[in-house]
Amino acid sequence: MNQKQNKPVIGITIGDINGIGAEVTMKALMDNRILKQITPVIYAHGKAITFYRKLLKMEDFNFMQVRNIDEIHPKKINVINVAENCPEVMPCVETQESGKMALAALDKAIEDIKSEKINGIVTAPLNKNNINSEELKFIGHTEYLTHAFETKESMMFMVAEDIRVGLVSGHVPLAEVANNVTGKKIKQKLKIMLKSLKDDFGIQKPKIAVLGLNPHAGEDGLLGKEEEEIIKPAIREFKDQGHMIFGPYAADGFFGMMHQMKFDGILAMYHDQGLIPFKTLAFESGVNFTAGLPVIRTSPDHGTAYNIAGKNVADEGSMRAAIFTAIDIISQKTDWEEE
């Protein structure tokens, strides 16, 4: 990293310009606390930002358009054009052009973080549907970044102030979840979670709860055998190594009784098992963090929300939290001089 910067440089990929990504990004960056702590770089196109500046009547939102990462100004909001021509901005409308630009923004940010020109990436929401093609099967940011950094395993880690939920299986059809819940995978995710809680969140002796796969955590084999045959042996192995891993817990009772307050991390077996309670408890402040990558990546915990795009009603709380979480993790790993 270029140490001429006395504060971290964070790249923000714009996502789908027809969704709420630009709005929540611009609103979040109006928070002066953020500009004091980082140099933000938006990967987008100046015309798209100008469009929303006018539409949302955000006359006070000032930015500097630069050609590449080497031209950024440390005290400004910087915008890098990721395409020669900006597609027509059409709030609420799904277009192939906006999908191409969302992917171009992500690819450019990946290029710059690989070159150590930025310290972290915050990704605004995109639409998988208008990115997918015969050449590219785009399942999600987590999988795309895991492949881009040639990482064996990563983990979708949903984090907020009082709750952190990791997933054994992420973007997998429900019918295939049981096949994806293996002892090997559970152990891989627990290793990633333990390391992330220590290295990224500064918790030296993490306490982790593991949820069961079946209703009532299998009820001693009556409602499924995965808990007895797969989950409990994995937990035992980590306990024998001295780790504070507990479970498996029945997911409904666990969250119903607010047990998440007693643990530093929770490992859920599949997407909705973890994300439904997480988003219920922390929708406006929740952050999606990709644990296990060699770089720092966060995002808000919501989607493109086409239905409210351009209407100036999108809540920027989750985007702001994603930026602050990236700042906190960068600070945990690196010493930065105060301005």
Per-residue model confidence as pLDDT tens digits over 123-162: 999 999 999 887 888 988 999 999 999 999 999 999 999 8
Confidence of residue 224 (pLDDT cuts 50, 70, 90): confident
Cα distance between residue 292 and residue 193, in whole Å? 8
User: Is a pLDDT exceeding 70 seen at residue 319?
Assistant: yes
User: Is a pLDDT exceeding 90 seen at residue 15?
Assistant: yes
Sign of CA dihedral 237, 243, 244, 250: negative
User: Is a pLDDT exceeding 60 seen at residue 290?
Assistant: yes
Yes or no: say if 23 and 312 are a contact pair by the CB < 8 Å rule.
yes
pLDDT for 70-94, tens place per residue? 999 999 999 999 999 999 999 999 9
pLDDT for 199-215, tens place per residue? 999 999 999 999 999 99
User: Is a pLDDT exceeding 70 seen at residue 3?
Assistant: no
- Angle, CA 71 vertex, CA 4 and CA 121 arms, to 5°: 75
Spell out the residues 6+ positions from residue 185 whose beta carbon is closer than 8 angstroms to its own: 168, 169
User: Is a pLDDT exceeding 80 seen at residue 36?
Assistant: yes
Spell out the residues 6+ positions from residue 247 whose beta carbon is closer than 8 angstroms to its own: 209, 210, 211, 212, 217, 231, 235, 267
Predicted confidence at residue 137, as pLDDT, reads 86
Share of the chain above pLDDT 90, in %: 87
> Which runs of consecutive H residues, i.e. helices, occur in 41-95?
46-55
The pair of structure tokens assigned to 30 is 């109006």
Residue 230 sits at φ, ψ, to 5 deg, of -120, -55
Confidence of residue 336 (pLDDT cuts 50, 70, 90): low
Q: Which of 4, 27, 38, 18 is nearest to 325 (CA)?
A: 38
Yes or no: say if 277 and 299 are a contact pair by the CB < 8 Å rule.
no
Cα distance between residue 268 and residue 249, in whole Å? 10
Residue 187: CA atoms inside 13 Å, Cβ hemisphere, count?
A: 12
Predicted confidence at residue 1, as pLDDT, reads 43
User: Is a pLDDT exceeding 70 seen at residue 2?
Assistant: no
pTM above 0.85, yes or no: yes
- Report the relative pairing of strands 155-159 and 164-167 from DSSP bridges: antiparallel
The pair of structure tokens assigned to 81 is 């054009």
Predicted confidence at residue 135, as pLDDT, reads 80
SS3 content of the chain, % helix, strand, coil (to 5): 40, 15, 40
User: Is a pLDDT exceeding 80 seen at residue 5?
Assistant: no
User: Is a pLDDT exceeding 90 seen at residue 55?
Assistant: yes
| Strands of the chain, DSSP E | 9-13, 39-44, 64-66, 78-81, 120-123, 155-159, 164-167, 207-211, 244-249, 265-268, 287-291, 297-300
Q: Which of 12, 38, 43, 44 is nearest to 25 (CA)?
A: 12
